[in-house]
Amino acid sequence: MNPSPEAIAVAAILFAVLAAYALFGGADFGGGIWDLLAGGAERGAAPRELIEESITPVWEANHVWLVFILVLLWTAFPPAFAAIMTALFVPLSLSLLGIVLRGVGFAFRHTAQRLRMRQLTGALFAASSLITPFFMGTVVGAVATGQVPVHPAGNVLAAWTSPTAVLTGFLFVAACAYLSAVFLVLEARQRGHQDLVRSFSLRATAAGLLTGALAGGTFAELPDSAPYLYGRLTGIALPLVAISIAAGIAVLGMLWLRWYHPLFLRVTAAIAVATVVWGWGLAQYPYLFPTSLSLAAGSAPTAALVAELVVAGLAVLLVAPGFALLYFLQQRRMLTAAETDADLRLAAQLEQAVPGQPRPPRRRPGPG
């Protein structure tokens, strides 16, 4: 039985959203990893500040992609969702723990003033950035190798602790660190921090090489652990694999030549990662779990799939202009954080001008 065109369309959207989360969410996780590896309080201060500045405005919008992945999966492919959530209960719970701790670390970090407290919340944020992508990677590895039973009777420990799944977990961590380092090179350059450009360029090269090695290692495992996937990856999905490898090498070349083009470098690094996600999707076709659950058998009724397509269309219509406005305002530097001295002085003058305004009981002269 062939999958319906609606099922294929929703699956394509799912993989587009997965790629978006891998790129945007992944880079944010990578930032946490580099935060963890930045060194002591003094030496790590500059890179940590850069990481914080580049993640703070975006982490929450980037996080919404994950919610979309869950919703798409359970609406369009309910049996697959139920089986994954049952069999992979443990790694999914651990990745969720990481997500919550990261949010807590983020919310509290900016308010904490004492160094000890800042270090604690910072460590929380950084450590959770490490465990979340790792366990998400083991989940993907378990699904891709077809180790998730269609009707699991409970946790399936072997599914996500296979060599391929664990390697995929490490691959996810390395890929996050790689993406993040490349983006941070550009962030540092935009701010004119030449020393940070150099150091993140080195880190991006190292992480890139490690990612490549891990990808190669995972690939070498596939003929035994996931023969179907391997066959497709060396067959119809081969062009995507080739593009990914080429893009990865191109990024390393640009870093070596110090050609930090804001658009090309970013896009090439993104292509290197996104093509792997799409390659995985194409290699699995037409299966949700190779080769036990097919797309046709695991899809929701057509009306539910059409509804998801309509929702996706509406999301593009409503959310895209919103994002455009947000980025436009940010580019024009219309969005700023807290009030500055100038603002507050203006306010103080105004207060004197407004009659009947009660004077504050305790008045301390502000600096400047």
Partner 1 sequence: MGAVAHALAADPVPARSQMGSSLGFHIILACFGIAFAAVTMTAEWIGIRRGDAAALLLARRWSKVMAVLVAVGAVSGTVLSYEMGLLWPGLMGRFGAAIGFPFSVEGIFFFLEAIFVGIYLYGWRRLSPWAHWWSGMPIVVAGVLGALSVVAANSWMNSPAGYTLSHGKVTSVDPVSVFFNASTPYETAHMVLAAYMVTGFLVAGVYAVGLLRGRRDRYHRLGFAVPFTLAGIAAPLQVMMGDIIARFIAHNQPVKFAAMEYVSTTTRDAAEWVGGILISGHVYFGAAIPSFDSILVGFSPHTRVIGWDSVAPAQRPPLVTLIHLSFDLMVGLGFFLFALAAWQAWWWWFHRRLLVTPWFLVPSALSGVAAVAAMEAGWVVTEVGRQPWIVYRVMLVSDAVTPSSGVPVTLGVILALYAILTVVSIGVPMIMSRRWRRGAPAEEETEQVPYGPSPARAGPSPAGPPAPPGVPRASPDGPDAP
User: Using CB under 8 A, which residues numbered 73 to 132 contact partner 1?
Assistant: 74-76, 78-79, 81-86, 89-90, 92-93, 96-97, 99-101, 103-104, 106-108, 110-111
Q: List the one residue from 41, 67, 236, 242 that touches partner 1 (CB under 8 A).
A: 67
- Cβ-based burial of 318 (10 A; exposed 0-12, middle 13-18, buried ≥19): exposed
**Selected range binding partner 1 among 146-154, 170-178, 232-240, 248-256, rule: CB under 8 A:** 146-154
351 lies in the binding site for partner 1 (CB under 8 A): yes
- Closer residue to partner 1 in complex, CB, 157/220: 157
Q: Least separation, in Å, of the C-beta of 247 and partner 1? A: 28
Q: How far is the CB of 213 from partner 1 (least distance, A)?
A: 32
- Residue placing its CB nearer to partner 1 in the complex, 40 or 356: 356
Task: Kindly tell me which of 257 and 360 has the beta carbon lying closer to partner 1.
Answer: 360
Q: Is 135 in the site for partner 1 (CB under 8 A)?
A: no
Report the residue from 9, 46, 210, 304 that binds partner 1 according to the rule CB under 8 A: 304
Interaction between residue 231 and partner 1 (CB under 8 A): no
Q: Among 37, 41, 45, 329, which residue interacts with partner 1 (rule: CB under 8 A)?
A: 329
What string of H, E and C letters represents the secondary structure of the chain? CCCCHHHHHHHHHHHHHHHHHHHHHHHHHHHHHHHHCCCCCCCCHHHHHHHHHHHCCCHHHHHHHHHHHHHHHHHHCHHHHHHHHHHCHHHHHHHHHHHHHHHHHHHHHCCCCCHHHHHHHHHHHHHHHHHHHHHHHHHHHHHHCCCCCCCCCCCCHHHHCCHHHHHHHHHHHHHHHHHHHHHHHHHHHHCCCHHHHHHHHHHHHHHHHHHHHHHHHHHHHHHHHCHHHHHHHCCCCHHHHHHHHHHHHHHHHHHHCCCCCHHHHHHHHHHHHHHHHHHHHHHHCCEEECCCEEHHHHCCCHHHHHHHHHHHHHHHHHHHHHHHHHHHHHHCCCCCCCCCHHHHHHHHHHHHHCCCCCCCCCCCCCCC
300 is a contact residue toward partner 1 (CB under 8 A):
yes
Q: How far is the CB of 22 from partner 1 (least distance, A)?
A: 17
Contact range with partner 1 by CB under 8 A, out of 32-40, 62-70, 132-140, 276-284: 62-70
C-alpha–C-alpha distance, residues 233 and 6, integer Å = 24
Q: Closest distance between partner 1 and the C-beta of residue 126, in Å?
A: 16
Q: Give the interface segment with partner 1, choosing from 197-205, 229-237, 287-295, 326-334 (CB under 8 A).
A: 326-334
Give the x-and-dash track for 164-193 against partner 1 (CB under 8 A). ---------------------------x--
Please identify, using beta-carbon distances, which residue of 12 and 307 lies nearer to partner 1.
307
Q: Pattern 37-56, binding to partner 1, x per CB under 8 A? A: ------------x--xxx-x
Phi, psi of 287 (to 5 degrees): -115, 145
Q: Are 104 and 53 in contact (CB under 8 A)?
A: no
Residue type, 72: L
Candidate residues 1, 257, 263, 337; the one interacting with partner 1 per rule CB under 8 A: 337
- Binding to partner 1 by residue 303, rule CB under 8 A? yes
Q: Which of 153, 257, 263, 355 binds partner 1 (CB under 8 A)?
A: 153
Q: Which is nearer to partner 1, 101 or 272 (CB)?
A: 101
